[in-house]
Amino acid sequence: AARWSLKGATALVTGGTRGIGRAIVEELAEFGASVHTCSRNESELAASLKEWERKDFAVTGSVCDLSSRDQSTDLMAKVCSVFDGKLNILINNAGTNIRKPTVEYSAEDYSKIMSTNLDSVYHLCQLVHPLMKESGWGSIVFISSVGGLVSLGTGSIYAATKGAINQITKSLACEWAKDNIRSNAIAPWYIKTSLVEHLLDNKEFHDSVIARTPLQRVGEPEEVASLAVYLCLPAASYITGQVISVDGGMTVNGFS
């Protein structure tokens, strides 16, 4: 049924070569969307594009370091030309982290996390707005974190960027509803990706994560991708301004 399809839709997914972003690129393509993605590593991007071509997915990509404002602007110019000035879906996925006690962060650490996780996300939203208006409908999905909802020892700068994203989600939902643009955020708990594998490889850490998680395991990228795609479907047309956790029940787990 058309309400469960993204046939004809156009999408930009940031950071699509690995982890959650990669799973979202593939799920969007499976649902019929044309997707553009980006990452910093040129050869990894080229290898990914080749693989997607083999699978008959309509995916294009460009190299972009989102922490640079100029490169984000160039990325959007590319997206504009690839999709003829019309974009339906923005998945703000790329993000990074440096874990330290608050007093040990340098000014460089601060600006690296802020520029990648927050400045670029905000800037991309500004840049996609005219393309979404032009296309008639839009869905923005932010990949936030449960670390933006509760304190989890993820590092206070990362937590601040994700908390800010949760609020931007609500602001844009209200401000851009009149343009038929919806805005939602997904807040995952631990998902098996390159961002956190070094942490999860530590058995003690892994066990401490599992102990807090009612479903007794960490998540897979596909389990985040399914919600991201759902939020873009016509089937989700009355859902906007929400921050939804994909966390195996972690955030509702009290004393047990």
- The reply on whether position 155 binds ligand NDP by CB under 6 A is no
- The reply on whether position 41 binds ligand NDP by CB under 6 A is yes
What is the Cα–Cα distance from 240 to 183, expressed in whole angstroms? 5
- The reply on whether position 210 binds ligand NDP by CB under 6 A is no
Residues 118 to 147 in contact with ligand NDP, rule: CB under 6 A: 143, 145
**How many CA atoms are closer than 13 Å to the CA of 58, on its beta-carbon side?**
17
Residues 44 to 73 in contact with ligand NDP, rule: CB under 6 A: 44, 64-67
Query: Comparing C-alpha atoms, which of 145, 242, 253, 141 is closest to residue 189?
Result: 145
Binding mask 229-248 for ligand NDP (x = CB under 6 A): --------------------
**Residue 158 annotated in active site:** yes
Residues 71 to 100 in contact with ligand NDP, rule: CB under 6 A: 93-96
What is the Cα–Cα distance from 93 to 86, expressed in whole angstroms? 20
Ranges assigned E (strand) in the chain: 10-14, 34-39, 59-63, 89-92, 138-143, 181-188, 243-246
| Residues in contact with ligand NDP by the rule CB under 6 A | 15-21, 38-41, 44, 64-67, 93-96, 116, 143, 145, 188, 190-191, 193-196
Active site members:
158
